[in-house]
């Protein structure tokens, strides 16, 4: 097990160094088609979580530039208002709305979802971007380990509760979940809240991000007849407040080599703009192309068979009602 873990980290480090940095983006962008980004999406409603900072901010701005109506879901009203007014003045788009919701709380997500449902607007794009890497074990007031609460339970609850509004936008609807290349280092595990005595935030984050990729695969399969496309992606390594706070040494040693938030958000905006026929349901994307979900010899692929039991657990943890049956 130790050797396998060491191999995964080494393979991830080498693959990441070659592909996830700014140089990787510059190299990969040589095959980008500029016309892909010239699509206007006026009148489409996009919900972006964690839209006040980093990659979420760049995503909201990118979508607003293409004419979308953007609902920015942020946990802090002042930070959200500041971000919204910056995007409004730089894009000239007046169709921006702030929604305040702490995604570490299932109860808050449920209140948000019922408030939002009363607007009765179709949701064309849901971007599950909000996320964090917390190095210490912190338990939320609802009793969940914090990384799990936001990255997994928040993403799961939000997506499940937005399904009726996504269906209203079918067959145009998309759910884009922002995972991380860090997920390459971890198989899927049923230990959702990291029960080991020595907490390791980096490992927990990788597990959460692996779960987002497996969930996306499952959603695509389960809801294939609903006219909603499910995609996961990873942004590479981008310089953001999140990276500076959670990984200060990494941030320092890669100073000048990291992507901008806009480069990190590029594939999210690209996925939102492309016709669905061009995209692969349930796939994992990076730099505007489908990417592998597993690194060679990492022994992570068979673990995805655990997803049915995990979604059953998530469904009961989030106490979603019987009109919304579990995924399995
Ligand atoms: N930057 C990278 O290199 C990188 C690499 C791989 C994956 N990612 C993923 O990209 C996404 C964005 O990360 P980032 O690097 O842009 O970090 P960031 O600058 O810290 O942005 C994270 C966003 O999520 C929000 N958020 C965190 N906890 C929340 C909660 N409980 N409720 C609501 N919103 C919450 C933050 O709000 P506050 O501002 O209020 O904290 C912020 O808006 C994350 O899912 C991350 O895992 C980033």
pLDDT single digits (tens) 19-62: 999 999 999 999 999 999 999 999 999 999 999 999 999 999 99
What does the pLDDT average to over 287-316?
93
Q: Is 204 in the pocket of ligand 1 (CB under 6 A)?
A: no
Q: Which of 22, 48, 54 to mutate to test the pocket of ligand 1 (most atoms within 8 A of CB)?
A: 54
Q: What is the pLDDT of residue 321?
A: 61
What does the pLDDT average to over 267-282?
98
Q: What is the pLDDT of residue 10?
A: 87
Alpha-carbon distance of 46 to 62, in angstroms, equals 11
Q: Is 150 in the pocket of ligand 1 (CB under 6 A)?
A: yes
Whether 325 has a pLDDT exceeding 50, the answer reads: no
Of 262, 270, 261, 263, nearest in space to 290 by CA: 270
* Domains of the chain, start order: 2-317 (3.40.50.720)
Active site residues: 205
Whether 156 has a pLDDT exceeding 80, the answer reads: yes
Helical H runs in the chain? Answer: 2-19, 22-28, 54-65, 77-91, 106-117, 146-147, 155-168, 201-222, 241-246, 248-253, 261-273, 307-317
Whether 285 has a pLDDT exceeding 70, the answer reads: yes
What does the pLDDT average to over 298-321?
91
Q: Which of 240, 247, 261 to mutate to test the pocket of ligand 1 (most atoms within 8 A of CB)?
A: 240
CA–CA–CA angle 203, 147, 149 (5° rounding): 140
Alpha-carbon distance of 65 to 70, in angstroms, equals 10
Alpha carbon nearest to ligand 1 atom 46, residue: 131
Alpha-carbon distance of 57 to 49, in angstroms, equals 9
Q: What is the pLDDT of residue 322?
A: 47
> Confidence class of residue 300 from pLDDT cuts 50, 70 and 90?
very high
Q: What is the pLDDT of residue 299?
A: 85
Q: Which of 22, 53, 147 to mutate to test the pocket of ligand 1 (most atoms within 8 A of CB)?
A: 53
Alpha-carbon distance of 80 to 87, in angstroms, equals 11
Determine the distance separating the centroid of ligand 1 and the alpha carbon of 102, expressed in angstroms: 12
Whether 327 has a pLDDT exceeding 60, the answer reads: no
Q: What is the pLDDT of residue 328?
A: 43
Q: Which of 29-38, 46-55, 136-145, 317-326 has the lowest mean pLDDT?
A: 317-326
Q: Is 80 in the pocket of ligand 1 (CB under 6 A)?
A: no
pLDDT in tens, 53-108: 999 999 999 999 999 999 999 999 999 999 999 999 999 999 999 999 999 999 99
Q: What is the pLDDT of residue 125?
A: 98
Q: Is 16 in the pocket of ligand 1 (CB under 6 A)?
A: no
Alpha carbon nearest to ligand 1 atom 1, residue: 238
Alpha-carbon distance of 238 to 264, in angstroms, equals 6
């Amino acid at each position: 097990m130790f050797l396998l873990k060491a191999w995964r980290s080494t393979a991830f480090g080498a693959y990441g160094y070659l592909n996830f940095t700014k140089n990787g983006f510059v190299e990969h962008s040589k095959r980008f088609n500029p016309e892909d980004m010239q699509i206007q999406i006026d009148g489409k409603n996009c919900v972006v979580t964690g839209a006040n900072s980093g990659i979420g901010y760049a995503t909201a701005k990118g979508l607003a530039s293409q004419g979308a109506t953007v609902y920015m879901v942020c946990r802090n009203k002042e930070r959200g208002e500041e971000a919204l007014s910056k995007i409004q003045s730089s894009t000239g788009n007046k169709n921006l709305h702030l929604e305040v919701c702490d995604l570490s709380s299932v109860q808050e997500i449920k209140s948000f979802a019922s408030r939002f449902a009363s607007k009765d607007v179709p949701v064309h794009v849901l971007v599950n971007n909000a996320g964090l890497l917390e190095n210490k074990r912190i338990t939320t007031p609802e009793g969940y380990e914090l990384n799990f609460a936001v990255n997994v339970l928040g993403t799961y609850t939000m997506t499940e509760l937005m399904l009726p509004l996504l269906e209203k936008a079918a067959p145009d609807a998309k759910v884009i979940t922002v995972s991380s290349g860090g997920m390459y280092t971890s198989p899927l595990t049923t230990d959702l809240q990291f029960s080991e005595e020595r907490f390791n935030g980096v490992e927990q984050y990788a597990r959460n991000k692996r779960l987002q990729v497996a969930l996306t695969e499952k959603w695509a399969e389960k809801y294939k007849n609903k006219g909603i496309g499910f995609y996961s992606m990873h942004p590479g390594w981008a310089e953001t407040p999140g990276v500076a706070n959670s990984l200060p040494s990494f941030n320092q040693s890669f100073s000048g080599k990291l992507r901008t938030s806009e480069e990190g958000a590029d594939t999210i905006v690209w996925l939102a703009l492309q016709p669905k026929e061009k995209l692969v349901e349930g796939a994992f994307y990076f730099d505007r192309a489908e990417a592998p979900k597993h690194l060679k010899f990492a022994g992570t692929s068979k673990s995805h068979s655990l997803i049915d039991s995990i979604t059953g657990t998530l469904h009961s943890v989030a106490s979603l009602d019987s009109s919304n049956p579990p995924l399995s």
